[in-house]
Amino acid sequence: MANVTFPRALAPRNLLTGAALRRLLGVAALLGGWELVARLGGTRLTPTLDEIAIRVLYDIETGTLLFHAQRTLLLAFSGLAIAVVVGCAVGLLMARSRWAEAALQPLLGATYPIPRLALYPVLILLFGLGAAPKIVLVSLECLYPMALGAYVGARSVTTTQLWLARNVGASWSRTLRDVIVPAALPSMLTGLRAAAPVMLIVIVVTEMIGENRGLGYMIMLARANFEPDGVLAVVAVLAVLGFAFDRAVVLLSRVLVFWERDVRL
C-alpha cells in the first residue's frame, strides 16, 4: 500500500499535541471547574453550562441577542476605527518628528494612567445621551495602544534604511508607504490586538449606565430580573466575540506581515 504523507499541519500527532489543543486545555479546565461548582453548589446563582447554553439559544431564536449585539458592535467598531486612524497617525508623527515627539509624548505619558471611564459623565454633558459619548470613550481608550504601537514600530526604522530610500530617489510619501509603514505594521497590529478587548469592555460598561440597547443593557436587564443565566449568557457571548476578534487580528497579521508567519501568536 502506498505511503500516505500528512501535511505537517494535519499530521495526527500534531492534531493531538498541537498548539490548538493546548489552548483548549485552559478553556476546558475553566468550564469544567464552573460545571463542578454549579452541580455541587446547586444554587440559582450558579447555573450549569447547559442552562447557560439554553439561554443563549433562546436569546438567538427570539432575535434579542442579534438586535442588541448589532448595536454594541456598531458603536464599538466605530470607536475602534477612529482610534486606529488617529492613533497610528499620532504614533507615526511622533516617531518621525522630534517636535511632535517632544510635544505629544509627555502628554500621552501623563494621561495614559487616567481612567477614561471617569470622563464618561463629562462626555455625556458634552455630547448628550446618544451614541456619541460611547464612541468617543472607546476611541480614547483604544487610541493609546494604537499610538504606542505605531510609535515603537516606526522608531525601529534605521537611518540606513531611510538613506537607502532617499538614495534611490523615493519621495517622502513613497518612503512612508514602502519603508516606515511596513516596518511599523507588526507593532501596529500588536496595538490593535490589545485594543480589541478594551473596545468591548468599554462599550459594554457604558451600555450598563443608562442605556436601553446593547449587550450591556441585556446584562443589567437580566440582573434586575434576577436571571443569572441571562447575565452569564451575555458574558459567554462576549467571551466568544473577544476570542474571535483576537484570532481575526492574528490572521490579519499573518496575511499582512507575511515575513513573520512562523511567529506563533
DSSP annotation of 112 reads: T
Kindly state the cell numbers that stand for 254. Answer: 499573518
DSSP annotation of 4 reads: P
Q: What is the mean pLDDT of residues 60-77?
A: 95
Helix axes 132-155, 64-96, angle to 10 degrees: 40
pLDDT over 70, % of the chain: 89
Kindly state the cell numbers that stand for 15. Answer: 492534531
pTM for this entry: 0.83
Pick the CATH number of 47-260 from 1.10.3720.10, 2.30.40.10, 1.10.150.120, 3.40.630.190: 1.10.3720.10
Distance of CA 164 to the CA centre of its chain: 36
Please state, in angstroms and rounded to a whole number, the distance separating the CA atoms of residues 204 and 125: 20
pLDDT at 91: 92
Please state, in angstroms and rounded to a whole number, the distance separating the CA atoms of residues 95 and 111: 19
In this predicted structure, the answer to whether residue 18 has a pLDDT above a threshold of 90 is no
pLDDT at 20: 66
Q: Per residue in 140-190, pLDDT tens?
A: 999 999 999 999 988 888 778 778 888 877 777 778 887 888 888 999 999
Q: Per residue in 180-237, pLDDT tens?
A: 888 889 999 999 999 999 999 999 999 998 788 999 999 999 999 999 999 999 999 9
Please state, in angstroms and rounded to a whole number, the distance separating the CA atoms of residues 55 and 59: 6
